[in-house]
Structure 1
Amino acid sequence: MFMSRRSILKSMAAGAAVPTLSAPYVRAQASTLRLGFMTIRTGQMAAAGANYEQGLSVFLKQRSNKIGDRPVELFAVDTTNNPAVARSKAQELVESRKVHAIIGPISAFEALAISDYIKQAGVPMISSAGSEDLTQRDPNPWLLRPGSSCAQCSHPLADYAFKRLGHRRISTIGEDNAYGYEQTGGFHRVFEELGGKIIQKQWVPTASPDYATYIASIKPDADALFMALAGPNGFRFLRQAQEYGLNARLKFLGGYTAVDESFLRNMGEEAVGAITSSFYSSELENEENKRFVADIRRDYDLLPGYYAAVVHLAAAALDNAVRKLDGEVEDRARLMKTMRTSAVANTIRGPLTFDDLGNAIGNVYIRNVVRVKGKLVNSVVETYENVSQFWSYKESEFLKNPVYSRDFPASPNI
């Protein structure tokens, strides 16, 4: 079963030396770095928000509640996974709390809702939201994305599915929002350019606990199914797919949250063999990640996944820049420029740099769900090095196309 919000917060209070995430704000200290933190504590995405908070809690605990040697004064707000609420909370952080920078928000449509305000306010925002155009056709000069754009990990997965797995006909199921469109679109484009066929697309509401109708509609001649599902939706879909016997005839592929580590603990045989792509896996062997995994397991008794990892990366990028600036963060423009132009050599995902639009360039890992010592993990089976948001395309040519959507790429095989 899923951990309840009460259980998660109880474990945070018991395991973390830094109590900032369970309170609205921390009493100011001299020379503090005022950090806004946009999480989700309400609704379907609350469990993902809790993982997000755990990632930041561990990062701050590892560094004695400091970023770049400046004590952190943290202001955590609940966006409720609602664009209007996210905008009001962003205004609160900037105008009332006077933050130096913001980590978050989590969801793509939240980031889109506050982007214009962040531009106007001129506050660095380090976001996990993968909305493509925030770093593409309508770039936000105040945004840094240390994870990936929505489609960035889907491009290499399509390459792997065609060349290594031999798939030729694929159905897709994705959430009926920008996140679902863009993850699916990136996979679709690369797969069909290689010679494969996307033979079906289904779009589901974000809150869709019953997938029976969609499962029954999946075409019988598909080699595999690509899933663009977030939060607990991958868990719910695969559980129902097993009940309907879909696992016996179909291979499952997915984006970086489809079988996230934070939900694998609740899953069983239905997840085994699912192939996904991400900029992160808890199985990565670098020293920074081994320490992170050990600390998350100690404090919360779970493996870190996308939501915990991406916020740890956000804090690492901020910490790296603040150190280079010797703690001088009052000049926000200088802080933003330093984050974008500074490589972060040692992160939990490996080496990390940023393009001129503020998006991460780094490794993308193809992962297979397997059992290790009785526990499900995303084992790395292939590494695509230094992947950019533009894949193998020239940036100028890529940007001539519209953003991935319901209608782009076109679907001649459906």
Structure 2
Amino acid sequence: MLVDRRTLLKGVGAGVGVAALGAPAVRAQVKPIRIGFMTVKTGPFASGGIQMEQGLVLYLKERNNTLAGVPVELFTVDTGGAPNVARTKLQELVELNKIDCMIGPLATQEALAIDDTIRETKTPTLFVAAADDLTQRRINPWVIRVTSTSSQCSQVMGDYAAKDLKFKRAATIADDIAYGHEMNSGFQRVFEEGGGKVVQKLWPPLAVPDYGTYIAQLNPKLDTLFCGFAGSNGFRFFRQFNEYGLKDKLPLLGGMTTFDESLLPRMGDDAIGLLSVSWYSATLDNPQNKAFVAGMQRDYKVDPGYYAASTYTAAAVLEATVKNLGGRFDNKEAIRDSLHTTKVANTCRGPVSLDKYGNVVGDIYIRRVEKQDGRLVNKVIKTYQNVGQFWTYNEEEFLKNPVYSRDYPAAKNLEN
């Protein structure tokens, strides 16, 4: 069991206890908040998992390792992105470390694996993972999500591709995991309802060593290719896509993690002009985001992306909950209820509120890669305001359908 308190002690004497780190005198006797943090530091998701940790640690550091003046103890575990490991680590966090709440995990398959354990242990959890159904048909009352479902942003990109870009023929490619299935299916549904056709769907394994086979299969008569990759796979795919000489021949559209800020330095100037969709951009012009970006550049020499912003936002919502509870964080039911009703007007991503299922309603951004001040950024070119997980659909009708998957919605326009 990895208990990572060293990150909380950065810059202070190793002999200083967590409870003494900047907490006001009036809070001296308040019980520390014990936060479990589940991330990924090894495997295909590692680049995102490391940024998740950076975002959370930065938020706590800026507040002298307190939330609303209450001292924090942080217990960090690395799951490697493996569902069975995530299940074991959560049990350890609950039983050994007696956590009050949890932030994480990163991957959809991990979230699905620990769903039952969260329910059984009644652990208030702020998800980063995007598994659609955990805030839809399989709603877990102990979970809230302040990022988005897998399909929430891709539904927006489906609308933009059909109506603004006027694309008619698209293919989709994504990691062959639930996250990829849900992301691409959300795009497909809205794109086709907007007048387009998805004529090809490709599903490389998460850890595929070479995308060449899939690139060679691409239909020669496409207007665009929607890409739903996680971790560093978006960079790996883009590199090979360019090697095949397709950069200026087939426009790419990225899902919310495909062309993440954490990947742009490795992608280089070839990435300029790429379009993607997300609920976050490091170029957002609000005071909270400016401070966040400055802190990430100062401490880690990087721009924050989806993964860092997810934990930075989660921490902001958690801090608002601590305030709502008057600093008392020892009643799980009270924590759960407060999390579900908390609204934060000012976060790095913009205003955050939750629907009755515990999922975020917030702005979603169409972004274009540009070069600013010598670095690549995802500049916002269009904002869709107050987008919920059900897009423009009636939620009751939406929930009568199966969860988005490889097989739903049906692919009626596929070509050989």
For this structure pair, what is the TM-score category when the shorter chain's length is used for normalisation?
over 0.9
Note the alpha carbon deviations across 1:48-71, whole angstroms, 9 max, x for none.
211111001110011110012110
CA shift in 2, pair 1:396/1:14, >3 Å: closer
TM, length-normalised to structure 1: 0.93
Q: Secondary structure in 2 aligned to 1:344? A: coil
Q: Secondary structure in 1 aligned to 2:367? A: strand
Alpha carbons 1:171, 1:199 under 8 Å: kept = yes
The answer for the alignment partner of 1:164 in structure 2 is 164
The answer for the alignment partner of 2:155 in structure 1 is 155
CA shift in 2, pair 1:166/1:242, >3 Å: same
Alpha carbons 1:157, 1:366 under 8 Å: kept = yes
TM, length-normalised to structure 2: 0.93
The answer for the alignment partner of 1:221 in structure 2 is 221
The answer for the alignment partner of 1:246 in structure 2 is 246
Note the alpha carbon deviations across 1:366-401, whole angstroms, 9 max, x for none.
001111122111000000000000000011010011
Note the alpha carbon deviations across 1:345-368, whole angstroms, 9 max, x for none.
110010100011110000000001
In structure 2, what is the Cα distance between the partners aligned to 1:236 and 1:18?
A: 39
In structure 2, what is the Cα distance between the partners aligned to 1:17 and 1:194?
A: 53
The answer for the alignment partner of 1:106 in structure 2 is 106
Give the C-alpha shift of residue 111 in structure 1. Answer: 0.6
Q: Secondary structure in 1 aligned to 2:170? A: strand
Alpha carbons 1:209, 1:233 under 8 Å: kept = no
In structure 2, what is the Cα distance between the partners aligned to 1:19 and 1:227?
A: 46
1:320 alignment partner AA: A
2:286 alignment partner AA: N
Give the C-alpha shift of residue 14 in structure 1. Answer: 12
1:90 alignment partner AA: L
- Where in structure 2 are the equivalents of 1:355-374 lying within 5 Å? 355-374=355-374
Give the C-alpha shift of residue 167 in structure 1. Answer: 0.6
Alpha carbons 1:18, 1:65 under 8 Å: kept = no
Alpha carbons 1:17, 1:61 under 8 Å: kept = no
The answer for the alignment partner of 1:290 in structure 2 is 290
Deviates more, 1:388-397 or 1:370-379: 370-379
Give the C-alpha shift of residue 18 in structure 1. Answer: 7.5
1:303 alignment partner AA: D
The answer for the alignment partner of 1:348 in structure 2 is 348
User: Which consecutive unaligned segments of at least 5 residues does structure 2 have?
Assistant: 21-28
In structure 1, what is the Cα distance between the partners aligned to 2:67 and 2:73?
A: 10
The answer for the alignment partner of 2:61 in structure 1 is 61
Identity across the alignment (%): 50
The answer for the alignment partner of 2:35 in structure 1 is 35
Q: Secondary structure in 1 aligned to 2:294? A: helix
Give the C-alpha shift of residue 343 in structure 1. Answer: 0.9
In structure 2, what is the Cα distance between the partners aligned to 1:208 and 1:16?
A: 37
Q: Give 4+ residue runs of structure 1 displaced > 4 Å after superposition.
A: 12-16, 26-30
Alpha carbons 2:39, 2:105 under 8 Å: kept = yes
2:282 alignment partner AA: S
Note the alpha carbon deviations across 1:248-302, whole angstroms, 9 max, x for none.
2110101110000011111123322211111100000000000000000000111
In structure 2, what is the Cα distance between the partners aligned to 1:397 and 1:247?
A: 40
Alpha carbons 1:363, 1:385 under 8 Å: kept = yes
In structure 1, what is the Cα distance between the partners aligned to 2:384 and 2:33?
A: 36
In structure 2, what is the Cα distance between the partners aligned to 1:267 and 1:217?
A: 23
CA shift in 2, pair 1:14/1:390, >3 Å: closer
Give the C-alpha shift of residue 209 in structure 1. Answer: 3.2
The answer for the alignment partner of 1:135 in structure 2 is 135
RMSD across aligned C-alpha pairs, in angstroms? 1.8
In structure 1, what is the Cα distance between the partners aligned to 2:119 and 2:87?
A: 13
The answer for the alignment partner of 2:322 in structure 1 is 322
1:265 aligns to 2:265 (yes or no): yes
Note the alpha carbon deviations across 1:196-222, whole angstroms, 9 max, x for none.
000100001111231111111111110
Give the C-alpha shift of residue 19 in structure 1. Answer: 10
Alpha carbons 1:119, 1:140 under 8 Å: kept = yes
In structure 2, what is the Cα distance between the partners aligned to 1:124 and 1:91?
A: 14
The answer for the alignment partner of 1:211 in structure 2 is 211
1:342 alignment partner AA: T
CA shift in 2, pair 1:18/1:263, >3 Å: farther
Give the C-alpha shift of residue 17 in structure 1. Answer: 3.8
Q: Secondary structure in 1 aligned to 2:383? A: strand
The answer for the alignment partner of 2:24 in structure 1 is none
The answer for the alignment partner of 1:406 in structure 2 is 406
How many residues end up aligned between the 2 structures? 399
Alpha carbons 1:239, 1:270 under 8 Å: kept = no
1:304 aligns to 2:304 (yes or no): yes
Note the alpha carbon deviations across 1:224-256, whole angstroms, 9 max, x for none.
000000111010111111111111211010111
1:258 alignment partner AA: T
Alpha carbons 2:44, 2:233 under 8 Å: kept = no
CA shift in 2, pair 1:14/1:92, >3 Å: closer
CA shift in 2, pair 1:16/1:199, >3 Å: farther
